[in-house]
Structure 1
Amino acid sequence: MTTLDIAADGAPSISGGPALAQERRLVTAIPGPRSQELLDRKAAAVAKGVGHTAPIAAVAAGGGVVLDADGNSLIDLGSGIAVTSVGNAHPKVVEAVQRQAAQFTHTCFMVSPYEGYVAVAEALNRLTPGDFEKKSALFNSGAEAVENAVKIARKFTKRQAVVAFDHAYHGRTNLTMALTAKSMPYKSGFGPFASEVYRAPMSYPYRDGLTGPDAAAKAISVIEKQVGADNLAAVIIEPIQGEGGFIVPAAGFLPAIADWCAANGVVLISDEVQSGFARTGAMFASEHFGFTPDLVTTAKGIAGGLPLAAVTGRADIMDAAHAGGLGGTYGGNPIACAAALASIDAFETEGFVERAAELGALMLSRLGALQAEDPRVGDVRGLGAMIAIELVDPATQAPDAALAGAVARRCIAEGVIVLTCGTYGNVLRFLPPLSIGDALLNEGLDVVAAALAAEVSA
């Protein structure tokens, strides 16, 4: 396996794609006048419900930076929410997209099949956890993949109930809103939601103090009492929760849930939309925890920025749906499939899995030192390049959402894109592109530390 070409300053060699200087550069305040012009147009033309985090007009991105219309270069610690893991405009992705677009842009796989879709399915069947026979189906978004995984599980088991967990996020469609735990901004005012969805307590070591087996026993007790195994089609869980706060379950929690599902004929769905494709220092996060799901949902990092999602899993479960029961006009679009094959090639041959682990070690070291100095950093957690800090009142450990929001806004004003998350809104999450260099990441973390320190007297 080849590895990323890392220079002495820790910056990966970037060939092709946008030739962007890998630096933080502020030539105007954020937003600058050209960005503000676009934001004004957005306010007039785009529905208010579509928000944004960074008040900029992006014009180019690559490596570890995003360039705006005013010439500002911002360090990217968000990757478009874990999407551009191989880096924006990765040359293999660009070439594959250009080649496919020149051949054909759409036939609808359900009308006229093409090789790209089949090749992506073959790759997913090979890469996802489990040594059993697998099959895949392709869709457009993570939420659509989750909806279809539930459909498949219900068809296979001939049961209706589905269990999700506290702090879960699974999407914004009607069923996935029901599965999602957090009300604002995802669910408030949008009900009624899909029925036969139940919630169990999640292992949250920082806040519950339970061992993995004890947390699993608590969750299983709730499931058995409030749902009943005989009624349950599926349990869906994120191996590391994303929007819920990058919560890493205690050791033993996920295997115990998996064992209970297997013993009771319940389909276990692993939602790897945010944690999949090298993000955690393994190709899939479930590999870290010693369990094998029946179905895996993927999206985000799968196609280098193009919209694509999938459900992959045990062939007998995947084949439960009747012909015509799965699909969608754009599902497995040929251009997105070409991008996915190029991205998967990059993940497998350019050392991105190993690079994620290196980035994680760097972030955990820097953020752990910050925690030792500042009691408002209640917890540092995550795996690979999926790391977070939870900000709290140091006296009570109560979540401090105001502090998290203020730090994120200050970072963006200083040229570093940082995202918040968490049920309580008090978590800063770090999802850098795996193509970012050490020097740029360290500079971004310097800005985060300075922003947190600046909020002491705010």
Structure 2
Amino acid sequence: MGQQKNSQQLLAKETAVLSKAARVKYYDIVIESGSGAEITDVDGNVYIDLLASASSTNTGHSHPHIVQAIQEQAAKLIQYTPAYFASAPEAELAPRLAALAPISGDVALAWGNSGSDANDAIIKFARAYTGRQNIVSFTGAYHGSTYGAISVSAVSLNMSRKIGPLLPGVVKVPYPDPWQRLSGESNDEFVDRMFAAFKQPFETYLPADEVAVILIEPIQGDGGIIKAPTAYMKKIYNFAKANGILFAVDEVNQGMGRTGKWWSIEHFGIEPDLMSVGKSLASGLPLSAVIGKDEIMNSLGSPAHTFTTAGNPVTTAAALATIDVIEDEHLLERSVKLGALAKEYFESAQKKYNFIGDVRMYGLDGGIDIISPETGKGDDEATTKLIYRVFELGAIIISLRGNVLRFQPPLVITEAQLNKTFHIFDQAFEELYQGKLSLPANADEIGW
């Protein structure tokens, strides 16, 4: 109890001045350090990190190569605004990142500080290039918290409550997720029904020739780690192409190797016109990019998308080192291999415990539904009990949509750490099954 006082003292001081809007609450810890797939709090407690800082530390915590790159660059030049002059690491990173984009032909990019402003940029460039105003996005989407990004998001009422009017010209259509599948409905029937729902606005009040862009997460992140059916993606892509609408993808959460490929859109055999990148681009340092076809990216002139610190020397040096690590340590292949082990584990647990519903795993990128065995519907209370017990047993995992376990460990997690994680889940699942788990005292504060 004496050790815990350090965290509690710090949190008490912070709580006095931190806005409630600034954090989704889960556990009362203060993180002090991290190494690989582990984090340590100020009280000395060590946890296996199954969140990877919201998928922003795919290369793990404090990777030596990335730390060295940051330190060496900071000793030379911390900041000079790329809004006016290039720096050496930024000039090196731009063509290297552009070459990784899953887009044929000439590609260009613009820097930002967060995934939010990268999604704002998609709106800007799409409107400029097409001369159209309207934007189509999807329910369950999380694109960020700046006004443009929050306007195209649809994952929490607190992202619209009391802050409107939001950006005009945004129309949201249903994302094809498992909760919308009807009993006995085949995949083809599901795709056809969801595509009909997608087309309904276009057939009733939204002229296709006034839509600039369709923006989608090929695999939704905060919406529950949900991959859209490939057939559905191809239908909306073909619809966009047939109507002169740009097709844009948000790769902020799911990019940089998370799903076993550089970009989640590569699972679909589709090339986007525009894409947003952030989070793990610089291993968690504030750097983002919007990448797209050259003619689209040059439809605006400066300073339509310039920022004082975006693409600065330290963050771009970190991004160069991040790409080095992903390539040199074969993290794409590692995500596939270890993701298969995780999928096997959770599917095995699914057969054993009737409160485990759908298991979705795309590399080291998983969403595991916790349901009520009686109703088959999501069980938020059971999920909160589980994640809190996993935390007590030494791993950090959070919930999405109330009843989804978010499984996104750093891609450098070792097999030994992964197996230790499975043992933790074994204990937590069994204790839930036996009715031994109770809600934490602050359960009503936890989660989205």
Deviation at 1:428, TM superposition (A): 0.6
Which of 240, 248, 264 is the equivalent residue of 2:243?
A: 264
**CA–CA separation in structure 2 for the residues paired with 1:49 and 1:249:** 30
Deviation at 1:170, TM superposition (A): 0.7
* TM-score, length basis structure 2: 0.92
Counterpart of 2:44, as a letter, is: G
What residue in structure 2 maps to residue 133 of structure 1?
A: 106
Counterpart of 1:138, as a letter, is: W
Where do residues 304-315 of structure 1 align in structure 2 (5 Å cutoff)? Answer: 304-315=283-294
Q: SS at 1:252's partner residue?
A: helix
Deviation at 1:180, TM superposition (A): 1.1
Counterpart of 2:266, as a letter, is: E
Deviates more, 1:219-228 or 1:59-68: 219-228
What residue in structure 1 maps to residue 301 of structure 2?
A: 322
Q: SS at 2:167's partner residue?
A: coil
What residue in structure 1 maps to residue 151 of structure 2?
A: 178
Counterpart of 1:447, as a letter, is: I
CA contact (8 A) 2:60 2:412 kept: yes
What residue in structure 1 maps to residue 377 of structure 2?
A: 398
Q: SS at 1:218's partner residue?
A: helix
Output one character per residue of 1:357-414: Cα deviation in whole Å (capped at 9) or x when no partner: 1121011011001111112111000301111101122232222122212211121122
Where do residues 5-404 of structure 1 align in structure 2 (5 Å cutoff)? Answer: 32-51=4-23, 52-205=25-178, 207-208=180-181, 209=185, 210-211=187-188, 213-215=191-193, 217-225=195-203, 226-404=205-383
Where do residues 389-428 of structure 1 align in structure 2 (5 Å cutoff)? Answer: 389-422=368-401, 425-428=402-405
**CA–CA separation in structure 1 for the residues paired with 2:17 and 2:366:** 35
Counterpart of 2:431, as a letter, is: A
Count of residue correspondences: 428
Q: Does 1:444 align with 2:417?
A: no
Counterpart of 2:147, as a letter, is: N
Which 5+ residue runs of structure 2 have no aligned equivalent?
Answer: 439-448
Identity %: 33
Which 5+ residue runs of structure 1 have no aligned equivalent?
Answer: 1-27
**CA–CA separation in structure 1 for the residues paired with 2:198 and 2:26:** 37
CA contact (8 A) 2:134 2:171 kept: yes
User: Relative to 1, partners in 2 of residues 1:389 and 1:145: Cα closer, same or farther, differing over 3 Å?
Assistant: same
What residue in structure 1 maps to residue 407 of structure 2?
A: 430
Deviation at 1:251, TM superposition (A): 2.7
CA contact (8 A) 1:54 1:417 kept: no
Deviation at 1:440, TM superposition (A): 1.0
Output one character per residue of 1:135-165: Cα deviation in whole Å (capped at 9) or x when no partner: 0101000011000111000000010100111
* TM-score, length basis structure 1: 0.90
**CA–CA separation in structure 2 for the residues paired with 1:431 and 1:59:** 20
Counterpart of 1:386, as a letter, is: D
**CA–CA separation in structure 1 for the residues paired with 2:142 and 2:117:** 13
**CA–CA separation in structure 2 for the residues paired with 1:190 and 1:393:** 35
Counterpart of 2:341, as a letter, is: L
CA contact (8 A) 2:218 2:264 kept: yes
CA contact (8 A) 1:65 1:75 kept: yes
Deviation at 1:216, TM superposition (A): 5.4
CA contact (8 A) 2:87 2:312 kept: no
Deviation at 1:219, TM superposition (A): 4.1
User: Relative to 1, partners in 2 of residues 1:219 and 1:313: Cα closer, same or farther, differing over 3 Å?
Assistant: farther
**CA–CA separation in structure 2 for the residues paired with 1:324 and 1:260:** 33
Q: SS at 2:230's partner residue?
A: coil
Q: SS at 1:194's partner residue?
A: coil
Counterpart of 1:250, as a letter, is: P
CA contact (8 A) 1:206 1:379 kept: no
Counterpart of 2:5, as a letter, is: P
